[in-house]
Structure 1
Amino acid sequence: MTAPCPADARRTALARRVIIGCAIVAFLDGFDTQAIGPAIPAIAAQLGLKPDAMGSVLGASQVGFLIGAFLFGALGDRFGRKRMLLLTTGLFAVGTMATALSGSLEMLIISRIATGLGLGGASPNFISMVGEFAPEERRARAVTMLWAAVPLGGMVGAYTTGQILPHHGWHAIFVIGALAPLPILVWIAFLFPESREVAPARAAPVRSLFAGDIRTTTLLLWITSFMTWSTLVVTALWLPALLQRAGWSAPQAATMLALNNAGGIVGTLAIGMLIGRSGAHRALIATLGLAGCLIGLMGLLTGTPLAFAILAIGAGCAASAAGGTLLAVSSGTYAPAARSTGIGWALGVGRTGTVLGPLAIGIMLGLGASVATAFAAIALVALIGVLFAVGLARSARSTPVPQGD
């Protein structure tokens, strides 16, 4: 039996450090994003607001996320993905602490925008780093399975909120979320390499995403991203509040959110084991379609807790798997030097849906829409997204991935 080459062993160890570190950042993303959902009624009560008005708070972090993804994805391609990952992780720690200290709606919105800037800026850079340092034959699997850390963080965030909220209030939840990133900042600073794909002298301009035949693929990717992230994030953000509107208690609603995230972990890991480079598009179509069907059924069965729990797990499984496969599709679409730019813009456009979605659901509820109607609206977005995912798969088959800088 041949002993492993020292150089190969070093590359493997380096890839492991990068993947673990990026997974922790993804975990913190999920924790912050979904910890706030169960806390919305308590925050609204303390600030003297109606829960329906909190849609602006939920949307604020998504505004920050999309700006951060647009901005820091391109900056990562130019100035270094490690540097941008350090900067953005620190930024969302500061924004989360500011959330804990907020005493007004205006301060809360500003804090959530700052948090979103950090989370949005971190995402394209940690996805790109995993895509670069994972072995090429396992890139799609590694990027997809990385996404499992987000619902894991969401599950822990939802559970933590349910346990801490009744005893220590909502402020304590965000203090925990602000302190948690500090150790990973040390990890990134001392154990991460800088990306070899970065060309410091010049950025990968956004116009390169529309060069030649790839422009059609880019447009379809953006629309599919909009539909996929709208489905995934809006469901998670509004699930606790919708269930409480349907008569569930806050702990019961938080439990359903935790189950939804548990399904997301299982689904993302499973789809990551099953797909290869050629299977990511088919997996995206199947999982997004299944998510739409299950979310629609959830709205019809809020009065049947056991059936709802099963659907919540299944919807989380399918929607999170769709998000993971979309990341794999995005990572494999562009040339290495434009990877963070391409991923950042796909994520940013996708997150416009998660800005508009929470606001739309809040408006619908304010106008008297039922809980079932709200779930049906989310389901419809997913099913429309399937149509664009089919077009994306066809376009990608006819468009070679550009190589080089």
Structure 2
Amino acid sequence: MEAPPAGVAPLEPDGTQHLQWRVYILCGLVAFLDGFDTQSIGPAADAIAASIGMDIKDFGPVFSASQIGFLIGAVIFSALGDRFGRKRMLVAGTLVIAFSSLGTAYAGSYNELLAIRMLAGIGLGGVTPNFISLASEFAPPARRTRVVTMLWAAVPIGGMMGSFVSSFTLSQFGWQAIFYLGGAAPLLLVPVLVFMLPESREVQRGANDRSAPPLRVAPIEALFGEGRGLATLWLWLASWMTWLLLVVIGVWTPSLLQQAGWTTPMAASMLGLLNAGGVAGTFLIGVALRFVPAQRALMLALMAAAASIVMLGTFAHSFAAVAVAASLAGFFSSAAGGSLLALSASLYPERVRATGVGWSLGFARTGAVLGPICVGWLVGLQWSTASIYSAIALPGLLATVLVFLLSRTSTFRAAIK
């Protein structure tokens, strides 16, 4: 750790394991709430639609609204995090999540629900680049990729918990109870973040050293200046392909399996295996990064995810084969997502890290919005289940090529030294 200038109060000893683990745990709790909110809306969709007098077939834009909001939040909050501090943006984003969840419980019309879910997406998109950047900032450089990857596992864990809680509360207390809980939990977390989470070291330095330059970074200049343009381009395209695959496989698997002749409960069980595999993959890739370079692990995960997805379609009429394929698809696609986030966090210097991660995620969310629409178009054209799954796998292979190109850039080589 650098010694502070003469006459300047030293920063909190952020090299200690105690402080590092405090940051990891608090950022992990925010990530958990991110996943919880994201997965809570799906199981409650039918009940919500019935309560406000709409047809469930018209619920698609409500799901898309949160994805669009995520894009907006990731882009705006990431730049604000680099300028004003990541802790402040985490607190602000967590408050947005809390109030939008509570607002969902009181939505009385389609337009209100649409607006509230977009607001929820803004909060979710706002916290993600900032908890990734803050955790990676306090992690030792040699462990940064593993910390970020394993931290990301809190998102699918929160998603699994959100699905479980939704299933229970829907029958016992009604759909509104899901969002009361989803609003209360982040509200309780906010004061903990305020008093226990340290601020970005760059912000601390700026507060202690009046001569330090302010954290004012133009996003385009930060991401494409100083020779980082080509690396940023390859990262964005790889992120677009990877998150398209991640979202599409989760959203469409139940419907595609039903198209192949499965019952609704059987198809839903495969979605559970997909999520369980995702949790395991995100955790274990963090361990693997101790021994394998992040870019190599990412390329292997992307190729394995593509192969597993093709297997899903090829053996769609075999319960045992699909169970294995779904578990592997969840495992490798989530491992790829976690590795990609870790790679993007390592690619940019500390002063623009949240911007780099956030804009990459924001660009990727356009794929998350368009991907499900494209698959719906293929379903409308009456493509076979096997053909559709092969089309879904293609972005994984393209992303592999893009990660290889990224690894050949001078920016990447300098970042991993």
Cα drift, residue 314 of structure 1: 0.8
- Matching residue within 148, 163, 168 for 1:163: 168
Indicate whether 1:31 and 2:45 are aligned.
no
1:41/1:396 Cα in 2 relative to 1: closer, same or farther (>3 Å)? farther
* 1:326 paired residue number: 340
- Matching residue within 164, 186, 205 for 2:218: 205
* 1:287 paired residue number: 301
* 1:89 paired residue number: 94
Comparing 75-84 with 106-115, greater Cα deviation is found at 106-115
Identity across aligned pairs (percent)?
Answer: 47
Partners of 1:30 and 1:241 in 2: CA distance: 22
Asked if the contact 1:58–1:237 (Cα under 8 Å) also holds between the matched residues in 2, the reply is no
Cα drift, residue 296 of structure 1: 2.4
* 1:255 paired residue number: 269
Deviations 1:367-397 (A, max 9, x none): 5455444433321222222221111122257
Partners of 2:104 and 2:390 in 1: CA distance: 31
Asked if the contact 2:347–2:411 (Cα under 8 Å) also holds between the matched residues in 1, the reply is no
Asked if the contact 2:34–2:124 (Cα under 8 Å) also holds between the matched residues in 1, the reply is yes
* 1:74 paired residue number: 79
* 1:59 paired residue number: 64
* Count of residue pairs brought into register by the alignment: 397
Indicate whether 1:339 and 2:339 are aligned.
no
* 2:3 paired residue number: none
Cα drift, residue 104 of structure 1: 3.1
Partners of 2:276 and 2:114 in 1: CA distance: 29
Asked if the contact 1:145–1:269 (Cα under 8 Å) also holds between the matched residues in 2, the reply is yes
Unaligned runs of 5+ in 1: 1-6
Partners of 1:48 and 1:160 in 2: CA distance: 24
1:190/1:38 Cα in 2 relative to 1: closer, same or farther (>3 Å)? same
* 1:17 paired residue number: 22
1:256/1:173 Cα in 2 relative to 1: closer, same or farther (>3 Å)? farther
Cα drift, residue 349 of structure 1: 0.7
Note the 1:79-158 alignment, pairs <5 A: 79-158=84-163
Comparing 238-247 with 326-335, greater Cα deviation is found at 238-247
* 1:307 paired residue number: 321
Unaligned runs of 5+ in 2: 1-11, 207-212
Partners of 1:301 and 1:51 in 2: CA distance: 30
Q: Larger Rg: 1 or 2?
A: 2
TM-score normalised to structure 1 length: 0.89
Asked if the contact 2:278–2:334 (Cα under 8 Å) also holds between the matched residues in 1, the reply is yes
Alignment partner of 2:58: what SS?
helix
Deviations 1:187-217 (A, max 9, x none): 2111011111245824222212111421100
Cα drift, residue 334 of structure 1: 0.8
Asked if the contact 1:285–1:389 (Cα under 8 Å) also holds between the matched residues in 2, the reply is yes
Comparing 202-211 with 339-348, greater Cα deviation is found at 202-211
1:131/1:9 Cα in 2 relative to 1: closer, same or farther (>3 Å)? closer
Partners of 2:256 and 2:108 in 1: CA distance: 25
Asked if the contact 1:155–1:259 (Cα under 8 Å) also holds between the matched residues in 2, the reply is no
Cα drift, residue 241 of structure 1: 4.3
Partners of 1:364 and 1:290 in 2: CA distance: 24
Alignment partner of 1:400: what SS?
helix
- Matching residue within 216, 238, 242 for 2:230: 216
Deviations 1:248-274 (A, max 9, x none): 555544433232121112111111111
1:400/1:326 Cα in 2 relative to 1: closer, same or farther (>3 Å)? same
The one-letter code of the counterpart of 2:300 is A
Indicate whether 1:228 and 2:233 are aligned.
no
Partners of 1:275 and 1:235 in 2: CA distance: 25
Asked if the contact 1:69–1:347 (Cα under 8 Å) also holds between the matched residues in 2, the reply is yes
* 1:3 paired residue number: none
Partners of 2:381 and 2:51 in 1: CA distance: 24
The one-letter code of the counterpart of 1:204 is V
The one-letter code of the counterpart of 2:153 is A
Asked if the contact 2:83–2:215 (Cα under 8 Å) also holds between the matched residues in 1, the reply is yes
The one-letter code of the counterpart of 1:140 is T
Partners of 2:127 and 2:412 in 1: CA distance: 31
Partners of 1:124 and 1:113 in 2: CA distance: 18
Indicate whether 1:182 and 2:160 are aligned.
no
Partners of 1:55 and 1:374 in 2: CA distance: 20
Partners of 1:46 and 1:305 in 2: CA distance: 36
Comparing 27-36 with 309-318, greater Cα deviation is found at 27-36
Asked if the contact 2:270–2:326 (Cα under 8 Å) also holds between the matched residues in 1, the reply is yes
TM-score normalised to structure 2 length: 0.87
Comparing 154-163 with 121-130, greater Cα deviation is found at 154-163
Alignment partner of 1:197: what SS?
helix
Comparing 29-38 with 207-216, greater Cα deviation is found at 29-38
1:306/1:164 Cα in 2 relative to 1: closer, same or farther (>3 Å)? farther
Partners of 1:351 and 1:309 in 2: CA distance: 28
* 1:387 paired residue number: 401
Partners of 1:129 and 1:15 in 2: CA distance: 10
Asked if the contact 2:228–2:411 (Cα under 8 Å) also holds between the matched residues in 1, the reply is no
Partners of 2:389 and 2:31 in 1: CA distance: 26
Superposed CA RMSD: 2.6
Asked if the contact 1:69–1:122 (Cα under 8 Å) also holds between the matched residues in 2, the reply is yes
Comparing 256-265 with 170-179, greater Cα deviation is found at 170-179
Partners of 1:168 and 1:178 in 2: CA distance: 16
Asked if the contact 1:52–1:366 (Cα under 8 Å) also holds between the matched residues in 2, the reply is no
Comparing 212-221 with 71-80, greater Cα deviation is found at 212-221
